[in-house]
Amino acid sequence: MSPLLAGRTFLVTGAATGIGAAVTGLFRSEGAMVVAFGMGGDLLESIAGATGALPVHGSITVEGDLARAIASAPKLDGLVHAAGVIAEDEPASVVDEVWERTLAVNLTGTMRTNRAVLPVLIANGGGSIVNVASVAAFNASPGMATYAASKSGVVSFTRSIAVTYGDRGIRANCLCPGWTRTPMSEAEMRGAAAVAGTTPEAELAKIAGQLALRRIAEPGEIATCALFLASDLASFVTGAVLVADGGGRVPAGVRAV
């Protein structure tokens, strides 16, 4: 069986760690050239060295950095946008600076990255965009006011791309992971453990116990979902939202009446 992405080139943002790094490795194994874009320094170089991806250092909040990443590819067939940050806050105590920074990266950064990539894909006759959001876009949970708002915007913006550019060969879909073992989630669990007087693994175990599958995802499992959406396996899929949360949105303890 031929590699799913043979001969194609993808820009992957947030490629230094977590889901972005897993996508970079998987897409390379499926035959794609990958421009691995991110701020990871030595981590990004390590991922590139291990996978054969082309590392480009920069921020999605800087348009010149985005232009440089896109220009580094001889052509471009798709984007997996996995860069993002997290903030913990409540609606009544949102700090303006935190709100602005989170939206600048998660939402405005998504807009700018997609805006920069779209003309190139359209000129090439089409392509596939996968924007990584989060189940926080749909699940109201304590401490996620700003983060959830930013990710809801990513879902909406992705659907706007799908409906606007489908007739020009663009497929745009959103991938919404639940709890996944990434540096971001590990940092959250260290904070939770410090408050609870437990350990990060104990806090992760609590969360896993609330999911239908009773475990946390590995980054490679989320990368596989991105591969499906990016490849011709999903040739008739656009404007869709793929939730990969281990059944977190179907709590078993609630009965319908």
Residues 132 and 198 in one domain: no
For residue 232, the one-letter residue type is D
End-to-end CA gap in the chain: 49
Between CA 68 and CA 85 the distance in angstroms is: 22
Contact 88, 144 (CB under 8 A): yes
Residue 97 lies inside a defined structural domain of this protein:
yes
At 74 the pLDDT is 87
Residues 152 and 194 in one domain: no
CATH number of the CATH domain containing 174: 3.40.50.720
165 is annotated as an active-site residue: no
Residue 247 lies inside a defined structural domain of this protein:
no
Q: What is the average pLDDT across 133-151?
A: 91
Between CA 133 and CA 136 the distance in angstroms is: 8
Residues 54 and 79 in one domain: yes
Residues 160 and 193 in one domain: no
> pLDDT tens across 65-84, in order?
999 999 999 899 999 999 99
Residues 133 and 45 in one domain: yes
At 240 the pLDDT is 98
At 1 the pLDDT is 66
Rg (Cα) of the chain, in Å, rounded?
A: 18
Count of structural domains within the chain: 2
For residue 197, what pLDDT band results from cuts at 50, 70 and 90? confident
Of 46-60, 134-148, 154-168, the poorest mean pLDDT is in: 134-148
Q: What is the average pLDDT across 100-115?
A: 97
pTM over 0.75: yes
Contact 153, 103 (CB under 8 A): yes
Between CA 34 and CA 37 the distance in angstroms is: 9
Provide the percentage of residues in the chain whose pLDDT is more than 90.
78
Q: Which domain holds residue 188?
A: 181-216
Residues 164 and 145 in one domain: yes
Residue in this structure with the two tokens 């940092």, named with its chain if needed:
187
Residue 187 lies inside a defined structural domain of this protein:
yes
From the candidates 10, 147, 157, 179, give the one annotated as an active-site residue.
Answer: 147
> pLDDT tens across 12-60, in order?
999 999 999 999 999 999 999 999 999 989 999 999 999 999 999 999 9
Residues 116 and 154 in one domain: yes
> pLDDT tens across 200-219, in order?
788 888 888 888 999 999 99
